[in-house]
Every structure is written in structure tokens, then in C-alpha cells.
């Protein structure tokens, strides 16, 4: 880190109003005016909601109120799932999708954190690259798929690039904004103790940016799931995404729903896991 | 200031300054670019500020809100570049922050993701010349000294404002600076907590004998804690007067009841009122 300390100071002068209260120490987050539910109660309510909708769906389908071709029904979906398992289709499809997601999101996470941190820390770099990030983020990335296939074909590599293109931006943008908005008071404390730029990054900027980074990762995960489906639809028809797509073309609605439910379950799982991580990382927020 | 007469306290000029000062601020000037101005107009915040502190002396600086007290302090700390003039600590010119100085900021500014113990040890940790164990034991001793021993493992949001300021104080003192710079550390506290902390600081300062510059806008606090009180005028900040406080240190709360104490407070109040033009007095930021 070769940035001059005077440069850091300038940057923070420029970005932060002088009498801004610190983000964390002087604002306490409290529950809203309404009573807060305990965790078990919340979960119970959530689960009952799902069960209720499934039951209504089943009843409506059995009573012939819904077109079976369009709406299918929970029992048909369950049967389809069992068939997919017994025919040894579902397991490999999940594995293939998990592998794509794992590699694609892993690459996005590592590169997103690195790029975001670099952009947040070096204002000159950000000045050069910000327009590119904005442009790439604004372009509907589906429009880039044909170009990708021209470059690298339609194999696994191309799929990973699609996932990366979708998942990396929220991570970059949130990390950048978290790192670049260091609390002015904290910076002054660190500088008063002769902190090096590297120490400021490690002890002030990164911990202060944690909430922003975690929220970037959350968005990245969800975008990554979308990216996986996109990649599987467009390149090779593999995995769960491919399963949904081919089921759709042959009007096997129940099979398509099995795939959709698997993505929904994955999204829910990530969300819960991330909440747990968040709680651990931000114990200090109280 | 035009109202200064022969019997008013001595005006400080650099030529008057003796050679035994530990801290010497001479003809300090500082201005800031006016916000939103493109033509470079500047606001003078400090103008020809001179003051000094002998080794072990406790100097309190008092002045109205916005007169540049914090600016003066951060200049001495080396956190703000000075415009004109010089600052010397122990004979060496100040050109940036140094291990010989530590600041107790106006806002506690504890790092919210660190426990109190790790906040207090922050300065020692950054120096990287002490072992973990040494840092822990020094921090533990300091926490006892400021009465936070039981709260070592708490996060800042879990302790009161008064405790945060104790931690802020401890974080500065634990690095054993030769010069302690305090910026209204008790300014935001309720009267009772404030008095307790003043008493503790008076005892602590008496014991440690560290050269201290303490900024406040509370006249009684300035007299209770200081060996001398420096009065600053409103923007642009200048030294309007300097008064010695005759009571020996360490002091106990009882001195505040002495008539001499009250007289000094009264005198300072008068000086501050002369320093502030009538139209401006009582005005807060
Ligand atoms: N970084 C800055 N840029 C521009 N102006 C500044 C900056 N810091 C302080 N000022 C201005 O300088 C003046 C003095 O500020 P300073 O904080 O030193 O006052 P103070 O005496 O400490 O006030 P208070 O008693 O309210 O803490 C104010 O008018 C303030 O607006
Ligand atoms: Mg101030």
C-alpha cells in the first residue's frame, strides 16, 4: 500500500461531511414500534404459511379449479420428484448445478472482494474503472451471452463466466462503498497512533465495511443463482436449469416445478446461513 | 480584546516565552477553504496563537464553541497541517503524529467492533513492539485505573457514555505519551458523571504528572483541572488571556467551594465575555 496518508485524508475530507455522526457508535438500531416476534414464533408462522399455500393449491387442483397442464399440483410435483430420483436424473443434475454454482460464485466472491477493496481503497483506480463498472452493470448481461459463446464456446467455462458476470457486481459495488467510506473519527484515532495505510485498512476500513460486504455477498448469492439458471438455459442445457428448460418445452409442468423448488430451497438455505454468519460477524452492533 | 487594560492578565507573546517549556506553540495560524467556494476564499480559524506548557503542567484551554479549539489540538497532535507558526514538543518541531503525543477525542470514537479491552490496547497494538501478553497486562492495569476492569470484554454499545469516555482516556494514557491532548472529553456527559470523571482525572493527573492540554468550554472544569487557563477568543481563535490557577495539585472537589475558586471562575467569565462581542455571546453553533 503505497498511498500517502495525506492522500487518504484528502479523500475522506472530500467524501465525508465534517460533522457527520459515526455510522455505528452514535446511532442505535432498535426494534420498530411494533412488537418483535421471537425466532421460533417467526419460523412457525413462516412454515404454516407455506403449508397453507401448498394445501390450498392441492385442494384447488384436485377440485379441478386449476388447469393441470399449467398449474400442476403438489402431489404431481411430488410424484415427478420421486420419478426423477428413481431414474437417477435428479442427483446428477443437482451435482452439476452445485458444481457450476460453487465454481462460479467462488470466483465471483474472490474477485469481487479483491476488485471492490482495491476500488474502495485507491481513489485513482476507482476514477478510472468506475465508468466501466457502471456500464457493465447497466448492460443487460443476457445480451453478452452470444459474445461469450463466440469467445469460449458453450461449455462449463462459458457457464462460469455467465455466473461470474451476474454475481460479481453486487459484491464489487458493496465492498467498494464499504471500504471507501471510512469513519472520519476512526481514521483520526488510527492516524493519531501512527497507523500505516495497511493498518488503517486492516483495523478500520475492513471491519467498518463488514455490513456492506455481507450485504454484497447476499445479493451476489441471489444473483449467482439467477446466473446459474441463465447459464444452464443458454449453454448446454445442463443441471437443474436444463431440466426445467427441457421439461418446459415438453409441457412437463410438474418436473419444471421440481427444479424451481430446488432453486427456491437453495435460496432459502443461503439466506438462513448468511443470517447466521451476519449475526456472528456483527455481534458488536448489538 | 480591545477592552484589555493594564490590570488584565498578561497577553502572551512569543518573546515572553521562557526556555523551559515542554510544549511550545508559537504564532500558530490556520485557515480552512470556505465550503463550496471555487475561488479559494478561506476562513481564518486560528490566528497568531501562542501558548506553552512546562513539563508536567496541566493547561486548560477554554473558549466558545467553534473558536478553533479542536483545530488547535489536532495541530499539536500533528493530525492537521498548520498554516503559519511552529509547534515544538520537547524541543522537536511537530510535523505529524508522533508516539510522544496521544489524543483523547471529543467523541469517544471507540471502534465498535472491538471490545473495550481491545479498544484500549489499540494504540499499543499498532506499534507492534510489544508482545500480546505485555499489551494485555498493561491494558488490564489501565482499565483498573479508570474503573473499567469489569467491562473489558464488553462492546462499546454495551457501556454508558461515561464509560466510553473512560475507555477513550485509557486508550490514550496506556501508550504512556509525554504529552496528553484532551478535547472536551467530558463535554457530552451529564453533570454527575462529569464531576466523577473530573475528580478521577484530577487524581490521575496528579499521580502521573503528564504534560496535558485539556480543552473545554466549562469554566469551572478549566479551573478545577488546570495549572493555568488559556482563554481563546471567538473565530478567528486567538489567545485572549492566560491565568494561572494558584491551588496546588492534586486537587479535591473541596477547592471548588473556596472563595478564591469562585473569584477565579468569575474573573474568567468576565474575560470570556469581553472576548466575545455582545452580539455573539450565548450563541451556540
Ligand atoms: N476540516 C475542516 N474543514 C473546514 N472547516 C473546518 C474543518 N474543521 C473545522 N472547521 C471550521 O473551523 C472552525 C473551528 O472548528 P473547531 O472544531 O476547531 O472548533 P471548536 O472550538 O473545537 O468547537 P467546539 O467547541 O464546538 O468543539 C469552525 O468554524 C469549523 O466549521
Ligand atoms: Mg471541538
**Residue B215 is assigned to a structural domain of this protein:** yes
* pLDDT of A80 over the 50 cut: yes
pTM confidence score: 0.77
Distance from CA of B124 to the nearest CA of A (A): 8
- Rounded to 10 degrees, the C-alpha dihedral A102/A105/A110/A116 comes to -170
The predicted pLDDT at position B42 comes to 80
A64 burial level (CB within 10 Å; 0-12, 13-18, 19+):
exposed
Query: pLDDT exceeding 70 applies to what percent of chain A?
Result: 88
The predicted pLDDT at position A92 comes to 93
Whole-number Å distance between alpha carbons of B179 and B212: 6
Residues of A in contact with B77 (CB under 8 A): 192
| Minimum CA distance residue for ligand 1 atom 16 | B68
Long-range contact pairs involving B196-201 (C-beta distance under 8 Å, separation at least 24) = B196/B162, B197/B162, B197/B165, B197/B166, B198/B224, B198/B225, B199/B252, B199/B253, B200/B146, B200/B147, B201/B169, B201/B225
Whole-number Å distance between alpha carbons of A88 and A82: 10
User: How far is ligand 2, taken at its centre, from the CA of residue A231, in Å?
Assistant: 57
φ, ψ at A57 (rounded to 5°): -60, -50
| B66 in contact with A, Cβ within 8 Å | no
Q: Name, in order, each residue with C-beta under 8 angstroms of A131's C-beta and a sequence gap of 6 or more.
A: none
The predicted pLDDT at position B229 comes to 93
The predicted pLDDT at position A23 comes to 42
The predicted pLDDT at position A113 comes to 95
Whole-number Å distance between alpha carbons of B114 and B154: 9
User: How far is ligand 2, taken at its centre, from the CA of residue A221, in Å?
Assistant: 44
Average pLDDT over residues A161-188: 92
Could you tell me the CATH number of the domain that includes residue B243? 3.40.50.300
Please give chain B's pLDDT, 285 residues, in tens.
444 444 444 444 444 444 578 888 888 888 888 776 666 678 888 888 889 888 889 999 998 888 888 899 999 998 888 888 888 888 888 888 888 899 998 888 999 999 999 999 999 999 888 889 999 999 999 998 888 889 999 999 999 888 998 899 999 989 988 899 999 988 888 888 888 888 888 888 778 788 999 999 889 999 999 999 999 888 788 888 888 988 888 888 888 888 988 998 988 888 888 766 544 444 444
Count: domains in chain B = 1
The predicted pLDDT at position B275 comes to 67
The predicted pLDDT at position A214 comes to 92
Residues of B in contact with A191 (CB under 8 A): 79, 97
From the CA of B67, the nearest ligand is 1
**Residue B40 is assigned to a structural domain of this protein:** yes
Whole-number Å distance between alpha carbons of B99 and B180: 11
Diameter of chain B measured on Cα atoms: 58
Distance from CA of B247 to the nearest CA of A (A): 33
* pLDDT of A284 over the 90 cut: no
User: How far is ligand 2, taken at its centre, from the CA of residue B83, in Å?
Assistant: 19
pLDDT in tens, A10-45: 444 334 333 333 444 444 455 566 677 888 888 899
B105 to A207: CB separation less than 8 angstroms, yes or no:
no
Q: Name, in order, each residue with C-beta under 8 angstroms of A189's C-beta and a sequence gap of 6 or more.
A: B103, B105, B109, B111, B122, B171
DSSP string of chain B? -TT--TTSPPPP-GGG--TTEEEEEEEEEEEEEPTT-SS--EEEEEEEEEEEEETT-EEEEE--TTSSHHHHHHHHHTSS--SEEEEEETTEE--S--TTEEEE-SS----TTS-HHHHHTHHHHHH--S-HHHHHHHHHHHHHHTT-GGGTT--GGGS-HHHHHHHHHHHHHTT--SEEEEESTTTTS-HHHHHHHHHHHHHHHHHH--EEEEEES-HHHHHHH-SEEEEEPSSSB-EEEEEE--S-SS--GGGGGSHHHHHHHHHHHHHHHHHS-TTTTT---
The average confidence (pLDDT) of chain A is: 85
Chain A residue with minimum CA distance to B99: A193
Look at the block and give the residue holding cell 468550554. Answer: B217
Crossing angle of helices A74-86 and A39-62, in 10° steps, is: 100
Residues of A in contact with B127 (CB under 8 A): 193-194
φ, ψ at A36 (rounded to 5°): -90, 140
The predicted pLDDT at position A24 comes to 44
Judge if the upstream peptide bond of residue A235 is cis by omega within 30 degrees of 0: no
Whole-number Å distance between alpha carbons of B105 and A188: 9
The predicted pLDDT at position A31 comes to 59
Mark out the alpha helices in chain A (DSSP H runs): 5-15, 39-62, 68-71, 74-86, 90-121, 123-138, 145-152, 156-180, 184-192, 197-200, 206-234, 239-249, 253-281
- Domains assigned to chain A: 88-285 (1.10.3720.10)
The predicted pLDDT at position A16 comes to 34
Going from the C-alpha of B71 to that of each of B66, B77, B90, B282, the distances in angstroms are: 9, 10, 21, 21
A52 vs A14 pLDDT, higher one: A52
Suggest the residue from A14, A22, A192 to mutate for an interface test with chain B (most B CBs closer than 10 A). Answer: A192
* pLDDT of A171 over the 90 cut: yes
From the CA of B74, the nearest ligand is 1
**Residue B172 is assigned to a structural domain of this protein:** no
| Ligand 1 first shell, C-beta below 6 A | A 18; B 32, 45, 65-71, 106, 217, 235, 285
Whole-number Å distance between alpha carbons of B62 and B239: 10
**Residue B241 is assigned to a structural domain of this protein:** yes
Q: Ligand 1: which of B31, B69, B233, B234 to mutate, judged by most atoms within 8 Å of the beta carbon?
A: B69
User: How far is ligand 2, taken at its centre, from the CA of residue B113, in Å?
Assistant: 25
The predicted pLDDT at position A286 comes to 63
B112 to A25: CB separation less than 8 angstroms, yes or no:
yes
- What domain range includes position B36? 14-100+208-278
**Residue B236 is assigned to a structural domain of this protein:** yes
A26 to B107: CB separation less than 8 angstroms, yes or no:
yes
Could you tell me the strand order of the sheet in which B228-232 lies?
B101-104, B179-183, B211-216, B58-62, B228-232, B239-244
Whole-number Å distance between alpha carbons of A158 and A149: 7
Amino acid at each position: 500500500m503505497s498511498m500517502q496518508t495525506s492522500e487518504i485524508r484528502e479523500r475522506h475530507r472530500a467524501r465525508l461531511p465534517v460533522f457527520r455522526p459515526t455510522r455505528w457508535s452514535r446511532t442505535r438500531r432498535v426494534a420498530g414500534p411494533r412488537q418483535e416476534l421471537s425466532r421460533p414464533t417467526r419460523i412457525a408462522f413462516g412454515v404454516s404459511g407455506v403449508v397453507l399455500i401448498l394445501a390450498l393449491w392441492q385442494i384447488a387442483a384436485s377440485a379441478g379449479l386449476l388447469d393441470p397442464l399449467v398449474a400442476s399440483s403438489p402431489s404431481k410435483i411430488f410424484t415427478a420428484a420421486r420419478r426423477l430420483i428413481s431414474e437417477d436424473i435428479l442427483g446428477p443434475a443437482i451435482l452439476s448445478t452445485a458444481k457450476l454454482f460453487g465454481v462460479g460464485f467462488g470466483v465471483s466472491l474472490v474477485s469481487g472482494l479483491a476488485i471492490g477493496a482495491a476500488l474502495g481503497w485507491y481513489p485513482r483506480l476507482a476514477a478510472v474503472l468506475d465508468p466501466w463498472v457502471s456500464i457493465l452493470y447497466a448492460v443487460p448481461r443476457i445480451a453478452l451471452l452470444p459474445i461469450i459463446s463466440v469467445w469460449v464456446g458453450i461449455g462449463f467455462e462459458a457457464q462460469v463466466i455467465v455466473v461470474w458476470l451476474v454475481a460479481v457486481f453486487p459484491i464489487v459495488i458493496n465492498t467498494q462503498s464499504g471500504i471507501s467510506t471510512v469513519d472520519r473519527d476512526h481514521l483520526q484515532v488510527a492516524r493519531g497512533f501512527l497507523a500505516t495505510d495497511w493498518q488503517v485498512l486492516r483495523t478500520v476500513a475492513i471491519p467498518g465495511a463488514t455490513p456492506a460486504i455481507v450485504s454484497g455477498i447476499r445479493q451476489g448469492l441471489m444473483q449467482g443463482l439467477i446466473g446459474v439458471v441463465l447459464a444452464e438455459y443458454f449453454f448446454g442445457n445442463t443441471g437443474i436449469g436444463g431440466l426445467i428448460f427441457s421439461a418446459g418445452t415438453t409441457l412437463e409442468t410438474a418436473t419444471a416445478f421440481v427444479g424451481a423448488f430446488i432453486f427456491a430451497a437453495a435460496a432459502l438455505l443461503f439466506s438462513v446461513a448468511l443470517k447466521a454468519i451476519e449475526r456472528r460477524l456483527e455481534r458488536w452492533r448489538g | 480584546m480591545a477592552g484589555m487594560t493594564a490590570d488584565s492578565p498578561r497577553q502572551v507573546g512569543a518573546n515572553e516565552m521562557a526556555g523551559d517549556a515542554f510544549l511550545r506553540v508559537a504564532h500558530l495560524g490556520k485557515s480552512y477553504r470556505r465550503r463550496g467556494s471555487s475561488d479559494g476564499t478561506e476562513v481564518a480559524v486560528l490566528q497568531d496563537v501562542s501558548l506553552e506548557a512546562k513539563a508536567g503542567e496541566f493547561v486548560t484551554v477554554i473558549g466558545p464553541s467553534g473558536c478553533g479549539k479542536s483545530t488547535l489540538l489536532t495541530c499539536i497532535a500533528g493530525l492537521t497541517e498548520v498554516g503559519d507558526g511552529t509547534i515544538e514538543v520537547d524541543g522537536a518541531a511537530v510535523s505529524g503524529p508522533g508516539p510522544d503525543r496521544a489524543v483523547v477525542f471529543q467523541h469517544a470514537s471507540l471502534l465498535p467492533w472491538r471490545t473495550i479491552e481491545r479498544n484500549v490496547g489499540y494504540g499499543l497494538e499498532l506499534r507492534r513492539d510489544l508482545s500480546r501478553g505485555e499489551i494485555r497486562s498493561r491494558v488490564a492495569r489501565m482499565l483498573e485505573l479508570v474503573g473499567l476492569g469489569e467491562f473489558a470484554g464488553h462492546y462499546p454499545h454495551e457501556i454508558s457514555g461515561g464509560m466510553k469516555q473512560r475507555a477513550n482516556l485509557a486508550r490514550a494514557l496506556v501508550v504512556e505519551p509525554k504529552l496528553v491532548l484532551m478535547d472536551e472529553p467530558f463535554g457530552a456527559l451529564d453533570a454527575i458523571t462529569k464531576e466523577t470523571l473530573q475528580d478521577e482525572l484530577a487524581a490521575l493527573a496528579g499521580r502521573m504528572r503528564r504534560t496535558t492540554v485539556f480543552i473545554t468550554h466549562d469554566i469551572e472544569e478549566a479551573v478545577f483541572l488546570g495549572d493555568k487557563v488559556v482563554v481563546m477568543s471567538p473565530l478567528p481563535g486567538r489567545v485572549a488571556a492566560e491565568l494561572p490557577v494558584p491551588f496546588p495539585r492534586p486537587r479535591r472537589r473541596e477547592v471548588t467551594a473556596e472563595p478564591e475558586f469562585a473569584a477565579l471562575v468569575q474573573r474568567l467569565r468576565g474575560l470570556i465575555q469581553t472576548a466575545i462581542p455582545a452580539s455573539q455571546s450565548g450563541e451556540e453553533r
